[in-house]
Each structure stands twice: as C-alpha cells, then as structure tokens.
Structure 1
Amino acid sequence: MLSQKAKYALRALMMLAEAAPEELVLVQEIAERQNVPKKFLELILLELKRHGFVFSQRGRGGGYCLARPADTITFGQVIRAMDGPLAPLPCASVTGYRRCADCADERTCTIRKVMRRVRDAMADILDKTTLADVRGGRVDEDLLATVA
C-alpha cells in the first residue's frame, strides 16, 4: 500500500513539475495548495533532496524546484525512495529480496509467484510513468488502458 509520505511526495513533485523550470516554490505554498502538513512536508522535501529529486535554496527568494527534468522522474523511483521496494512480500522483491521464514519451498510457492506478478505489473506502470506524463492532471490514454 502506498504510504501517506509517498503520496505527499508525489503531490509535491507534481506541483513542482507544473512550475517553470528552476522556478523556486515555497514550502508554505506547496503545503497549502496540496493540503499537506508543513512540518511533514519539510521532512519529505529533505528526503527528496537527498535522493536527487529536488533542489533547494534557502533565504529570501528561496524555495524548491525539480533537480532534473520532469520526464526523467518516475513514480516508481519516488515510491521506492519514500517507501522502499514495490513488492507486497519481501520474497517477491527485486530490490529488497528476503526469503520468507515460513516458506518450505520458495521455487514452488504459489503465493510468491502471484505476488511477483503483482510486483512486476506495478513496476511496469510506475517505472514508465513520469511526472511529465501526469503534469497538469493529464494522464496518458495508454496508461489508463493498461490499468483498466
């Protein structure tokens, strides 16, 4: 399940993607327009900065902007940065694999196989969807067809 932290991070990044390149947006403005608690948003933006998604400038005229073009930042990258692996089970994860302690035979485990398909389907959509794809509330028709 998508955490509130990841959801807020995506909201903030989508708002920054709508701004002109290198236009700095104040934390307060993001918090108000996206209905995100300011203190929580500040922590999220620091983490996004640490992962190279945003640039910040302090002081008068300061704020946040995307650190790279919106068409190079995918939903999958952001969610992994905020929440970790996409897989619903550690044994189905590509980036955070861990064997389940209660699994007798991982190769024949039906639950693992299904959860791996779920992970792969999610990754396929999230890793192909960029901030530019959804800028201004627009969603590509191909993406909608994939989800439907």
Structure 2
Amino acid sequence: MKSKGDFAIAVQILLSCAQKKGGLVSSAELAESVGVHPSRIRTIVSKLAKAAILEAREGRSGGVCLKRPAGKVDLEEVLRVVDPSPFIKIHETPKSAKCLVSCGMEKVMELVHSKVEEAARKSLRTFHLDDLLEFAVE
C-alpha cells in the first residue's frame, strides 16, 4: 500500500484551521505543529486552496483558514485532492505461458483493488472535519 503521508498532513492542517474557527493559521505554525518543512505545508495548502477547501491569504499577517464549514468537508474529498493515486498499486508481473496463475493475476488484482478502493473511499466520506475535531483536541 502506498504511503498516504500528505493525506495525514492535510487532515492535520484542516483540523488546525477548524479549531481556529475562521482565524488564520500561518504556514510556520502549521510546519511546527506537523513537524515538516514549511515548503511541504505550502504545497499541500496550495492543493487544498485550489480545491476551494482552504483560503490562503498572503503577506506578513497572512495564513490559511477553512473556506467552507468544517461539516461540509469530508476526508474522501481531502484524499482525492492531495493524493488521488489508488490505495493499492497493481504490480505488473510478467506472464508465463507455463503458469496459468500468472496469466490471470492482473484480473485478480484489479478486482481486489476496485473493491478495496470503493470501500475505503465510501468509509472516508462518512468522516467530516467537525466530527474529527472533538477527537483531535481532547
């Protein structure tokens, strides 16, 4: 399974913004809180702003804030924005005429992948930022 590190960072950024209730959070604050370089924060923030999830304000007193209510942002949307790649990468293996299994593996993995992908995304749609905020600040 591929690392979804940017997804976790994006969720933390969004929950930090939700906690501020309309107040701005600077990328320096976010970088310190998340423990990553500010440029990585800015890259993720840029994607979230392009998708109209965050609003970014530039300048000395700038920062980011949620563009929509926290209850209107679900985790499937966040994942789609920051990392649209599939959960399971299908490894291309050479087919051997001597092995019937190897000839059918692509079909098998496509079936597994589609079921896992569908279930995971359906589950992520049930989580909204406002639901998660109470767990984050306990």
Unaligned runs of 5+ in 2: 96-101
Structure 1, unpaired ranges of 5+: 91-101, 139-148
The 8 Å contact of residues 86 and 122 in structure 1, kept in 2 or not, is answered as no
Judge conservation of contact 2:26–2:62 (CA < 8 Å) in 1: yes
Return the alpha-carbon distance in structure 1 between the equivalents of residues 124 and 84 of structure 2.
Answer: 13
Matches within 5 A, 1:71-90: 71-89=71-89
- Contact 2:18-2:66 at 8 Å conserved across structures: yes
- How many residue pairs match? The answer is 127
TM-score (norm 2): 0.77
Larger radius of gyration: 2
Report the alpha carbon displacement of residue 104 of structure 1 after superposing the two structures with TM.
7.1
Q: Which residue of 2 aligns with 1:68?
A: 68
After the TM superposition, which parts of structure 1 deviate over 6 Å for at least 4 consecutive aligned residues?
102-105
- Identity among equivalent positions (%) equals 24
Q: Given the two structures, how large is their TM-score scaled by the length of structure 1?
A: 0.72
2:99 is aligned to none
Q: Secondary structure at the match of 1:64?
A: strand
Alignment root-mean-square deviation, CA: 2.6
Provide closer, same or farther for how the CA distance between residues 131 and 49 of structure 1 changes in structure 2, counting only shifts above 3 A.
same
Contact 2:76 2:125 in 1 (8 A): yes
